Amino acid sequence: MEKTLQVLNRMQADGVLGQYAIGGAIAATFYIEPVSTSDLDIFFTAAAASGQFLSLAPLYDYLAASGYEAAGEAVEIEGWPVQFLPAFNQLLEEALAQAETIQFKSTPTRVMRAEHLVAVMLQTGRPKDYSRIIQFLEVDAVQWSRLSDVLTRHDLTAHWEEFKRKFNL
Amino acid sequence: MTGDFDLDELLKRRLARRRRLAQLSFEEKIEIVERLRELRFNRDLMSARRAKPEGATETEGSSEEITHP
């Protein structure tokens, strides 16, 4: 994983990748018990000009030139299939902007905050997302005031109330 | 009690285990995730081999259809 993160940091330094943050199951693993997953979700700033499609081609070309080939929806980088996901809504943009900088061994990287991950999972709303939210709550991984702010800002309060009602929280 | 085991006790123990695992360092947790990926890869490989028709022989590159972790 460290080598994978080093490649991502190099991409950033070379201007191929903008600001990025780890999301998904690996980000969840930062806060809760290890989550079984086969890939690394990397959210990045999507800077496509208004009205134009965002192209991942420069990113894929850069990686291919370094010997990292695309495999399905991901690119295999140093043993980890990496999925590059543009921050496609305001919640993800905020999660990306406010991600926490951490060290993985001796390599710096950024991980989405627990409150944003919970809000994203609530918004996504698959059964596995709900189950994972419960895991975040079980280990006291969220700061309630911060979560409340995120939910309010992104109009997810009603979703949250519904989630609490459904799971008797 | 449910049957011959105590469900409350089981849930309590599961929660305690989850909390203990959550306290591990990120590096330690990623090591576990990587081990799980390896186990899944080996399991998938075994299943693929078992699913091969009888008499089929291993061909070069056949196992590469499954992405190695």
What integer is the mean pLDDT of A35-55?
A: 79
Is any Cβ of chain B less than 8 angstroms from the Cβ of A37?
yes
For A154, the 3-state DSSP assignment is coil
Is any Cβ of chain B less than 8 angstroms from the Cβ of A126?
no
Interface test with A, best of B29, B43, B45, B66 (most A CBs within 10 A): B29
DSSP A119-159: HHHHHH--HHHHHHHHHHHHTT-S-HHHHHHHHHHTT-HHH
pLDDT of residue A2: 97
What integer is the mean pLDDT of A136-147?
A: 96
Is any Cβ of chain B less than 8 angstroms from the Cβ of A34?
yes
In this complex, do A139 and B33 lie within 8 Å of one another by their Cβ atoms? no
DSSP A32-83: SS----S-EEEEE---PPTTS----HHHHHHHHHTT--EETTEEEETTEEEE
In this complex, do B15 and A138 lie within 8 Å of one another by their Cβ atoms? yes
Chain A hits for B17, CB-CB cut-off 8 Å, are: 33
Instruction: For residue A169, name the pLDDT band (cuts at 50, 70, 90).
Output: confident
Whether ipTM tops 0.85, in short, is yes
In this complex, do A32 and B30 lie within 8 Å of one another by their Cβ atoms? no
Separation between Cα atoms, residue B5 and residue B10, nearest integer Å = 8
pLDDT of residue B17: 94
Separation between Cα atoms, residue A84 and residue B13, nearest integer Å = 37
- More confident of the two residues B7 and A122: A122
- More confident of the two residues A158 and B61: A158
**pLDDT greater than 90 at residue A78:** yes
User: Mean pLDDT: which of A103-117, B4-18, B38-52, B54-68 is highest?
Assistant: A103-117
pLDDT of residue B23: 96
In this complex, do B26 and A135 lie within 8 Å of one another by their Cβ atoms? no
pLDDT of residue B49: 87
The dihedrals phi and psi of A104, each to the nearest 5 degrees, come to -110, 110
- pLDDT tens-digit profile of B27-60? 999 999 999 999 988 998 888 888 876 555 544 4
